[in-house]
Amino acid sequence: MAGPTRCSVAVHVPDSPHAGGPAVYRLFETDNAVGDSIVDLVIDQFTHRGSWVTHTVAVADATDLTVRLVDTGPGSHTVTVDAVSIAC
């Protein structure tokens, strides 16, 4: 039986004053981002403005992967969204 697939999840943080703090990017093994996420990537948008941030994750099924940005990070700030790339 094959093991998990390693995927690279890259998130671009816009160079924007609205990229104000931690943002949570949730990765789902479904095409509709419903249910429990398989991993939550917390990225400090203020620190990474204008750059790509890449994380490697292991997934059981890389057929349908979805990323959802949520504003449930710590503190009170705004977050922004730009581009996300997933390569497995």
pTM of the model as a whole = 0.86
Contacts of 55 (CB under 8 A, 6+ apart): 8, 9, 41
Tokens of 76: 């009170």
Residues 32-82 have pLDDT tens digits of 888 899 999 999 999 999 999 999 999 988 888 999 998 765 667 788 889
Per-residue confidence (pLDDT) for residue 35, from 0 to 100: 85
Per-residue confidence (pLDDT) for residue 52, from 0 to 100: 98
Per-residue confidence (pLDDT) for residue 76, from 0 to 100: 73
